[in-house]
Structure 1
Amino acid sequence: MEGPQALGGPGAAENANNYVQVLCCVCGIPIAPNAANTCASCLASSSDITRGISTEVTLHQCRGCQRWHKEAGKWIACELESRELMALCLGNVSGLKTTKGSGQKVRLVDAAWIWTEPHSMRLKVRLTIQKEVQQGTILQQSFTVVFIVRNQQCIECQAEFRQGSWKSLVQVRQRVAHKRTFLYLEQLILKHGAHRGCLSIETFRDGMDFYFPDKGKAARFISFLENVVPTKMKTSKKLIGTDDKSNVSNFKYTSLVEICPLCKDDLLYLPVKTARNLGNINRLVMVKAISNVIHLIDPLSGQTAQLSGDAFWRDPLRPIITAARSRMTRFVVLGKEPVLLRPNVSKRSATRKQKSRLANLTLAREDDLGVNDRQFEERSSVGYLMKSGDVCVGYDLTETQFVDDEAERMRSSGKLPDVVVIRKLYGGVAAGEADASKKRLWKLKRLEVEKAEKSARAARQDAEADDMDEEDFMREVEADRDMRSQINLYKSELLKKKNDKSNPDVMSDVVENNDEEDEDDQEVKLDELLDALAMDGPDPEDIGNVEVEVSGFEEGGKAAMDGIAYVGREEARQIKDKEGAVPQAEFRKHYDFDPDL
């Protein structure tokens, strides 16, 4: 601890000329008279303005999440040597604002970090304070405060590791053979942060389980689900224990949320009554999108309709063809003839693109090229996206038998189209490249989930099915601009290489298309991508071969960035407990920090 430093006030020289000088009672030098009749140097050597200020403080840090305890029930995240941690430390020093007994305020003029051993569980801060002890006499003193770091679990970590900590369980299920709807739901949850407060997430082949610490957070999550997908819910509760003295019972609540089994691109054959209620839409429709309502579209005319969740659950519909990869056929576009809409003087003039969204396409199966000359000519609502040579996927109804008797009768009589085009394929997927998924310029963030325990064979089969579902979902995303507007897409590592202008072969893939005749507005644009986040860890096979560099601040780097002084390792060992006084004429600038950080 440094000794107090005597600082003469701004009126010290003037007072010395107006009053008769007296001798200091300690050293005997002539001074202006004061209450103690002591000179500033002797007063500084005999006074301790740090009295009442704690020099040893205990801080609590959660070992699990590395957050620091600020006050009752509140934990904050701070980096070492940061301004936020300095504010937290100073806020825990008792007596720093008002010294004990005197009631006079202490002026904090400087604070600096002092180097400590990384594993010592200690933090040291060198404080410099000022205080006026007599009229015109200002004392300044520097001292060191040691903060002892103790481990203490925060409330969230306690709830996570405590057995039976969850109070409410939300089981989300969809009775289909794939997980594309859950992949889309996962992206919505991440974008809106709906999983905040969730203790853990467990995934299954047909759904996910969300564990919450209380019923309120679970109800908020269920409300989010009801706003993004058609659902129906069942609830139950189980008695865990009862306190007869206080008449308090402890329950665990379980909510089963079932999602509508219809998925994007499913093909439906509507009943006559349902089609009439939806604006006399064609009975053969396809699911365009799923939100809190079911969006339907006529694949031949482009007419759209919306089916509410309540209407679906009252009279459930079953698709005649589910949107599975095995049910889809790849077609090559051989020709395109736009279908112009008839003019309507009662409406505003339509643009050229709106007039030609429908098109008659000449298609051929990709597998039939070079084998036979069979072609199909069908009208499509996504025909404006196509041009000769493009590859698309669709349902081949000529080789399909429907379970629905009425739909099968209509197909056999030739009243249904031979081909229903679903969407256009892009990039390496259209070219049939085996590594097309690795060449995408974008990627998606994923939730941290726990998978249910299964046998090795079942786990391997589920992993293969999950990979196929994820690839199908990525193809849906890159071909649907409306779906991309609801989720976040991030730039992949491959995009950084493509931005290297020194590689013209790579840059040719990302040059903007200036062809005015190209009407494709569904392809992923670079301005839709967000900056990539550190979401992925190193590949397991690369851990043993590549030296991993640990990124972080150097010693004192964070303090310098935040504008806080730092005492290095060598200087910290040479700091003296007491130094000579340096008189000053006025108060120094007050050390400014925000205690609410």
Structure 2
Amino acid sequence: MAVATEMFEVAHTVGRVLCCMCGISMAPNAANMCVKCLRSQVDVTEGLQKSVRILYCPECGKYLQPPRSWVKAELESKELLTFCVKRLKNINKVKLVGAEFIWTEPHSKRIKVKLKIQKEVMNGAVLEQVHVVDYVVEDRMCDKCSRVAANPDQWVACVQVRQKVDHKRTFFFLEQLIIKHAAAATAVNITRVQDGVDFYFANKSHGLKFLDFLSGVVPTKSRHDKQLVSHNTKSNTYNYRFTMSVEICPVCKDDLICLPQKVAASLGNIGPLVLCMQVSNSLLLLDPQTMRTAYMDAYSYFRSAFRPLLSAKQLVEYIILDIETEPGMPAHSEKLTPAEVQVARKSDFGKNDTTFTARTHLGHLLNVGDFALGYDLYSANTNSMELDNYRNASFPEVVLVKKSYEEKRAKKRGKARPWKLKALAMEIDPSAVKHDQEKAVGEYEKFLEEIEEDADMRAKIALYRDANYRAQSETASVLDEDWEELPAVPLEELLTDLRLETQSTRTESEYEFV
């Protein structure tokens, strides 16, 4: 016998309690107080400033970030809002939920920011409250603008950096070194000229310090001159202007050099044809035939002052037909693995069957079918007196320098990179405008590609994450016909400007009173 049963649903109701202060009925909470009474007992904004004085430079539009740094920010911008919040004291004692500007007249010298803050009060209850801060803007010129306003030509020492080459690769790299080490922080002005850069300083000691920095990162030769500006016969004081002319070694990375006989003998009979592998305060030279290396400092170089036989602009692209690592020659390092290769010029494909056999130090990078950049000594027109002194010596027909990714980069060139470089604030001399702009853009692109390929170069400079970069989707990467792992900058090397923020969530035990 079936028994019919009926289901009854019981509605659960939330009980209400009386406020312990005023006695009104309310929903229960951890403090057993209504919102009005809770706010009358506890002030979340206690200890926070209601008025803050900030300094503003009307000439350059920057705000003073104590103690000495100046921040560029526009009105009602994200940068200005961040600057205003950081100027508040004891802001770390409360939880900042939101911040926004309250509109004021641009000429009122007042900036109002409305902050929405939370703080745990009685028995774990969380109270949220709005707090308005009034910022009083006072005009004060920064040190740089005050010096310029007092005397636009106020400089005592000028460091003129020059290099007698037809490219800007060295200055691109030197600019990043200066930015990373803040070497030109005391410079009054920086001017880019056609053959180099001029740095102006207010003190001679600042110019000498910058000169020491240059001699520590690149091979240089300097000369000092001074000019009398004024002379006080009563106090017997003299005012001079000092000019320091700096010449950077014209030998650059990947250049092919024919060493003079005396220089080769002083370096242990290396060469005479050597490759410049690295440029710092000295030159690292490699003999591609014997895999021997030698260092040459700035003093030794400028004593002989030889010029490169071939530069990076004269590199020719080759294709690897066959490669065999020499078993009797162990690898000297991760970057020096001797091998014997058979190559052919890429431009000769379909025209002739000319091939070349050469020894290279790139045995760990090259495979059959890869492309490599090298110097074509077989057909090169080298008008060098140093090379003529070696009449009985036999020279290789091809000297490979590095692996080439030109064909793979052709379709990817022009796409955004996830990283970026900073630049110095330089004025451009009218004589430098005549320089071909397209040529400069192409050289800078080559410089960026070289950074991606050379890990040692990346270790010396600072790379910054590009916040506007959007990564390519996996589907688009797979559909790419020439998809392959090209040299790229790892993410862990971009932590200089990387900011990771975690969004905090509330727990069930927290209560919000608005």
TM (norm. structure 2) is 0.70
Task: State the match for 1:541 in structure 2.
Answer: none
Question: Contact 2:322–2:341 at 8 Å: present in 1 too?
Answer: yes
Instruction: Note the aligned Cα RMSD (angstroms).
Output: 3.8
Task: State the match for 2:302 in structure 1.
Answer: 313
How many angstroms apart in 2 are the aligned matches of 1:442 and 1:58? 37
Are 1:341 and 2:328 matched, yes or no? Answer: yes
How many angstroms apart in 1 are the aligned matches of 2:440 and 2:53? 49
TM-fit CA distance, 1:183 = 1.2
TM-fit CA distance, 1:87 = 4.9
Task: Specify the SS of the correspondent of 2:439.
Answer: helix
- Say how many residue pairs are matched: 413
How many angstroms apart in 1 are the aligned matches of 2:113 and 2:442? 56
- Does 334-343 or 358-367 show the bigger shift? 334-343
Q: Structure 1: where are the runs of 5+ without partners?
A: 1-54, 89-111, 127-143, 344-349, 514-522, 535-597
Are 1:450 and 2:424 matched, yes or no? Answer: no
Are 1:66 and 2:62 matched, yes or no? Answer: yes
Are 1:394 and 2:383 matched, yes or no? Answer: no
Task: State the match for 2:200 in structure 1.
Answer: 211
Task: Specify the SS of the correspondent of 1:420.
Answer: strand
Task: State the match for 2:125 in structure 1.
Answer: none
Change (3 A) 1:356 1:76: closer
Task: State the match for 1:156 in structure 2.
Answer: 144
Task: State the match for 1:465 in structure 2.
Answer: 439
Are 1:496 and 2:470 matched, yes or no? Answer: yes
Task: Specify the SS of the correspondent of 1:199.
Answer: strand
Structure number with greater CO (CA < 8 Å, separation at least 6) is: 1
TM-fit CA distance, 1:196 = 1.1
| Partner AA of 2:161 in structure 1 | V
Task: State the match for 2:227 in structure 1.
Answer: 238
Are 1:421 and 2:395 matched, yes or no? Answer: no
How many angstroms apart in 2 are the aligned matches of 1:432 and 1:507? 12
Q: 2:109 aligns with which of 109, 116, 121?
A: 121
Are 1:364 and 2:344 matched, yes or no? Answer: yes
| Partner AA of 2:394 in structure 1 | K
TM-fit CA distance, 1:470 = 1.9
How many angstroms apart in 1 are the aligned matches of 2:65 and 2:329? 70
| Partner AA of 1:67 in structure 2 | Y
Are 1:265 and 2:254 matched, yes or no? Answer: yes
Give matches, 1:141-290, under 5 Å: 149-161=137-149, 162-290=151-279
Task: Specify the SS of the correspondent of 2:470.
Answer: helix
TM-fit CA distance, 1:259 = 0.8
Question: Contact 1:441–1:495 at 8 Å: present in 2 too?
Answer: yes
Question: Contact 2:462–2:496 at 8 Å: present in 1 too?
Answer: no
TM-fit CA distance, 1:387 = 0.8
Question: Contact 2:477–2:483 at 8 Å: present in 1 too?
Answer: no
Q: Structure 2: where are the runs of 5+ without partners?
A: 1-49, 72-78, 91-98, 115-131, 499-514
Task: State the match for 2:407 in structure 1.
Answer: 430
TM-fit CA distance, 1:465 = 2.6
TM-fit CA distance, 1:441 = 5.4
How many angstroms apart in 1 are the aligned matches of 2:233 and 2:407? 68
Question: How many percent of aligned residue pairs carry the same amino acid?
Answer: 34
| Partner AA of 2:63 in structure 1 | R
Are 1:505 and 2:485 matched, yes or no? Answer: no
Change (3 A) 1:529 1:238: same
Question: Contact 2:254–2:276 at 8 Å: present in 1 too?
Answer: yes
TM-fit CA distance, 1:423 = 0.9
| Partner AA of 2:402 in structure 1 | R
Q: 2:319 aligns with which of 313, 323, 332?
A: 332
Q: Deviations over 1:261-305 (max 9, x none)?
A: 111122112123322221231211111111101110012232110
| Partner AA of 1:297 in structure 2 | L
TM-fit CA distance, 1:430 = 3.0
TM-fit CA distance, 1:171 = 0.5
How many angstroms apart in 2 are the aligned matches of 1:375 and 1:405? 28
TM (norm. structure 1) is 0.61
Q: 1:486 aligns with which of 460, 463, 476?
A: 460
